[in-house]
Structure 1
Amino acid sequence: MEPLARHHSVFFLIMRRMRTPLIMLITIMAISVLGLTLVPGVDDDGKVTYLSFFHALYFMSYTATTIGFGEVPYSFSDQQRLWVTISIYMSVIGWAYTLGSVFNLLSDRSLRQAISMQRFVRAVRRLREPFYLVAGYGETGRLICQALDRKGVRAVVLEIDDNKVGEIDLHSYALDVPAICADAGNPETLKYAGLTHPHCAGVVALTNDDQTNLALAISARLLAPKVPAVCRAEHRATSANMASFGTRHIINPFERFSETLALALHAPNASQLMGWLTGLPGTCFERRRDPPRGHWIICGHGRFGRWMVDAMDAEAVPVTIIDIEPKGDGVHRWVQGDGTGKDALTEAGVTTASGIVCGTSSDVDNLSIAVTARELNPGLFVILRQNHYDNRALFDAFESDITVVPSRIIAHECLAILSTPLLAPFLAEVRTRDEDWCGAHLERLTTRLGWTVPEIRSERINLSRAPALYRRLMRGETVTLSMLLRSPVDRSVALHCEVLFLDRDDDDHLLMPAANTPIRAGDELLLAGTAAALNDFRLIVGNEHTLNYVLTGEDLPGGWIWERLARSKARASLPAPANGRPKSNGSYLP
């Protein structure tokens, strides 16, 4: 970070901008002092005398700054007063020019940027806890920062829009969020923002420019290959480019929803199970009706519309496309229009259609399409695209079957990847299971935990995360899931959580492991349940006294005094042999 401090030194920037006025002031002062030493004066006795450099400098110092003090060391002669008058006017001109330069400098954008950058770099350098580097503070970036703040995790923000950077202070985060207005695609800026910082836990590229996200992904891969990067990409070419150099997590919100829709069309139970597990924790998940497999209408053939068409084609669902500029690909039926009027919808067959996708880039047009389509066909399954999160009040007022909010899709997946890395392989395994399996586990889990979206956490069984359980396992003890998932208050009551996935270093992964599955040192468990239950689980695996009670039902004595009393009581309960003699430590020898 030292090169940054030198490059963005506010002091040297000010000195460069103030070089001319300062040289002018120094020159005026030098001429005034020199002239004052050369002009003759008279002392109290009427003798000719000259001021020394010290007295001349002293006099000009308080005179040129308009302080005024008097004539020293003697009253000046007319020649000296004339020279002082000239010097005063020269200094006034010099100070006026200097003050004008100062005001121009204070209003200079480069200086303000340099001051902000220096303050930002200093704040990042002082971080001594894990933080995430978030590039882009739009709707998705704001959701990510708010979620991280609720979890007590720091965030550092890069945003190209100065107005959005100013909004950060208005959101009242519990933790300070260092932010700077800068280009996130610049590798040097990324280094200044903490990409190579030892406490950087991850990078999240959320800008609305695919090229910037691509540049950030490349920089993260080369400068910090061990730091996980989650990158947004809205074009297929960008996704392929990111994947080509090993970007770990690439999120295209439209692709993700198309996968969800395709899954809902052929495996409704799997879709419901994944929706329940990946929703916003604490909210009530409402079972929606499953998307029908009849004829569908898609309004808008942009990025989102093309993904929807691909999802329908993959499931062999007939589609009619409404677009301003029909492509006429020879495979689908096309209707020219924007879908907001009855004519285009009627021509597309809305009265007999099973579902409609309102997928244009305009929220107003999408709402208009949805309202008109529902009037023509009240039983229509409506998928509504919401482009701007701020319009949620309007979309909440219209009861669509599914509302697609790209910012929320990206935010939820980013948080799942960053906070619970084990969730992604678990969901990938769920997609491979059949409908009966998903339906059975959905029924079992919701019966046990309810329809409220559970908290999802992963716990690694190692010495740092689960010291109590790890030590027992290393001593050769056998502990199963059913033995461990007990309340630390009453071990006869099961914890209100479930183990969804068990990951082992030897690639022996278990999906929905059985209750009698033994736990091994190094296992990582993916758990779903209430926040209180997951906190209890962490206490159980980390605290020896709590773990002993859960496994045996016995309370270990706590504290030095109680442990001494317990040992004394145990020794006193031992029977003494008839011909034994006591040892000094209280035991008996035959």
Structure 2
Amino acid sequence: MKGAQPLARHHGIFLLILRRLRAPLILLIAIMAVSVLGLTLVPGVGEDGRTTYLSFFHALYFMSYTATTIGFGEVPHSFSEQQRLWVMACIYMSVIGWAYTLGTLFAVLSDRSLQQAIATQRFVRAVRRLREPFYLVCGYGETGRLICGALDRMRLRAVVVEIDETRVGEIGLRSFSADVPALCADASNPEVLRDAGLTHPHCAGVIALTNDDATNLAIAIATRLMAPKLPALCRAEHRSTSANMASFGTRHIINPFERFSATLSTALHAPATSQLLAWLTGLPGTAVERRRSPPRGAWIVCGHGRFGHWMVDAMDAESLPVTIIDRSEPPDGAHRWIQGDGSGAGTLLAAGVQQATGIVAATSSDIDNLSIAVTARQLNPELFVILRQNLQVNQVLFDTFESDITVVPSEIIAHECLAILATPLLEPFLRDIQGHGDGWCAEQLERLTGRFGWKVPEVWSERVNLSRAPALHQRLMRGETITLDQVLRSATDPGTRLDCEVLYLERDDDDHLLMPPPDTALRPGDALLLAGRRRARDAFALNIAYEHTLAWLLSGEDLPGGWIWRKLSRQGTKRTKPQLP
């Protein structure tokens, strides 16, 4: 519910309900008081025929079970006619009072604002109880679903704030391994962000994924002011929003169209580098095909919106001729402009589709983009087609049409966020390899795919410290020399290398190594970026964490497994050690 305030933070739910039920409760109390008082004043007849009056206790006792419709009998003795007449009036008054109270109670419980307050209080309690790192995800659209699913697979907790009530309801239907606290509220409200755990000591970061740039900007500002040490990953689809976020130090600004524009520019002048980037940043386990590279030549861009602007800029940077097809008037004469609908064959022919080398279907309508792509392929079967997909629900249609590249903004954002969260070393590594030339990247691509295949490998980071690699760190601190090759061996067969490789080594003294050789000596505090198979990841973590495994790899010594056996082993060694003369 848009604009909902976190009422439960200021008032208890019980007090809220009592405030709403103030009038009917006062009425019930008044009816009970008048009934009891009247019953003590109305004369009755005792067993000996004398006039008697009920005490306050007996009158309250009788009205307690009579006014609640339980019914019990006339106590402590039979009533007189006057008493029965008064009791009958009291019964009718109590029925009216209870009907009014119950009707008001049902109306209060069905009130949307109170339901929101109850949900908010439950949400706040769930967030406060978290005792493990979590990420605050603002927006549960297509990108938010991908991010939450990936975080769950990575065994990381998430807290969601979403303005659409239907999407919030979907979270409870997903089979997450851990509960995901979710609140239906406007994430641009700083109080909502605070209730969602922005200032929580276990909050690990904020991910702003709403489809409104103004909301994402408000989240970025609130994070900068309320939790300046937290990393903020913010989606921005307008250049002005990106510039505004960058001006106050937002760490990670993700524009899906800008990201793909940079990818396209790389593919145009360095195709092998682009292939290597795609292989390293895809979803682990999915197959990446060796696709044909975007050709150089004349291009057509259908749709000159946000995505179209970025595509034209990328081609201008590569000095490629571009023809733009759009329904709007041409803003300037810098490019050839065809006013019309790109889904029609006449417009495409006028734009020179038969002579073009590539086309970009860049409109905000999936149906229009598919229509453009199908018509263009019929007119020019050799055309390189870049197809924009806006909605995940149309995935079946886009799978049917074999485009060269399908651009899905939600997936681009999700991949970027996961790369930053899961493998912080991946970003500097990708930046470094782009400066080594396309020939070097082609050699690395052939070598890595020859070893691991074309399925996207697991890419992860490890740091040589006491928490992540206690056994290795302790040995290095004692002055031992241990190389990468020694720890990248199989514990079951030390002569066999693990199915992984170190891509990047980062050190505190800025001595960063790209594709370090196997004989590189490790140091305490080194950060490693590795790529390989899942089983190799688990085996490498075992090698550097457990002294028993590491000792077996380095010296072939099979240490006793438990503390008691190690203690006995050391004592036995002392007993059998020869004495010096």
| Fold shared per TM-score above 0.5 | yes
Q: Distance in 1 between matches of 2:152 and 2:561?
A: 36
Residues 431 and 82 (structure 1 numbering): CA distance in 2 closer, same or farther, change over 3 Å? same
CA deviations 1:210-269 (Å, max 9, x no partner) are: 111111111111211222111111111111111111111110100000000011001111
Q: Which residue of 2 aligns with 1:114?
A: 117
Determine if the alignment matches structure 1 residue 273 to structure 2 residue 276. yes
Out of 496, 502, 505, the position equivalent to 1:493 is 496
* Residue pairs, 1:15-414, within 5 angstroms: 15-414=18-417
CA deviations 1:36-55 (Å, max 9, x no partner) are: 11222221222222211111
Residue pair 1:255, 1:307 contacting (<8 A) in 2 also: yes
CA deviations 1:87-142 (Å, max 9, x no partner) are: 11111111111111011112111121111111111111111111111111110000
Q: Distance in 2 between matches of 1:509 and 1:80?
A: 97
> Post-superposition shift, 1:274?
0.5
SS at structure 1 position matched to 2:183: strand
Out of 511, 518, 523, the position equivalent to 1:520 is 523
Determine if the alignment matches structure 1 residue 588 to structure 2 residue 568. no
- TM-score, scaled to structure 1: 0.95
Q: Distance in 2 between matches of 1:12 and 1:445?
A: 65
What amino acid maps onto 1:211 in structure 2?
A
SS at structure 2 position matched to 1:156: strand
What amino acid maps onto 1:414 in structure 2?
C
Which one is further off, 452-461 or 61-70? Answer: 61-70
SS at structure 2 position matched to 1:158: strand
SS at structure 2 position matched to 1:452: coil
Which one is further off, 520-529 or 44-53? Answer: 44-53
Aligned-residue RMSD, C-alpha: 1.6
Structure 2 unaligned regions, length at least 5: 1-5
Q: Distance in 1 between matches of 2:580 and 2:479?
A: 32
CA deviations 1:529-582 (Å, max 9, x no partner) are: 00111111111111112112222233334344476457747865xxxxxxxxxx
Which one is further off, 524-533 or 196-205? Answer: 196-205
Q: Which residue of 1 aligns with 2:559?
A: 556
Which one is further off, 291-300 or 509-518? Answer: 509-518
Q: Distance in 1 between matches of 2:11 and 2:377?
A: 59
Q: Distance in 1 between matches of 2:165 and 2:85?
A: 54
SS at structure 1 position matched to 2:368: helix
What amino acid maps onto 2:319 in structure 1?
A
SS at structure 1 position matched to 2:273: helix
Residue pair 2:9, 2:121 contacting (<8 A) in 1 also: no
Residues 346 and 153 (structure 1 numbering): CA distance in 2 closer, same or farther, change over 3 Å? same
Residue pair 2:233, 2:254 contacting (<8 A) in 1 also: yes
**Corresponding residue pairs, total:** 575
Q: Distance in 2 between matches of 1:217 and 1:193?
A: 15
Q: Distance in 1 between matches of 2:11 and 2:407?
A: 43
Residue pair 1:497, 1:534 contacting (<8 A) in 2 also: yes
Q: Distance in 1 between matches of 2:341 and 2:491?
A: 60
SS at structure 2 position matched to 1:495: coil
Percent identical: 71
Q: Distance in 2 between matches of 1:12 and 1:36?
A: 33
Q: Which residue of 1 aligns with 2:3?
A: none
> Post-superposition shift, 1:177?
1.0
Q: Distance in 2 between matches of 1:6 and 1:148?
A: 28
CA deviations 1:434-483 (Å, max 9, x no partner) are: 11111111111111222111101100111111111111111111122222
Structure 1 unaligned regions, length at least 5: 573-585
Q: Distance in 1 between matches of 2:292 and 2:265?
A: 15
Residue pair 1:202, 1:228 contacting (<8 A) in 2 also: yes
> Post-superposition shift, 1:185?
1.1
Q: Distance in 2 between matches of 1:546 and 1:58?
A: 77
SS at structure 2 position matched to 1:588: coil
> Post-superposition shift, 1:5?
5.7
Q: Distance in 1 between matches of 2:195 and 2:156?
A: 20
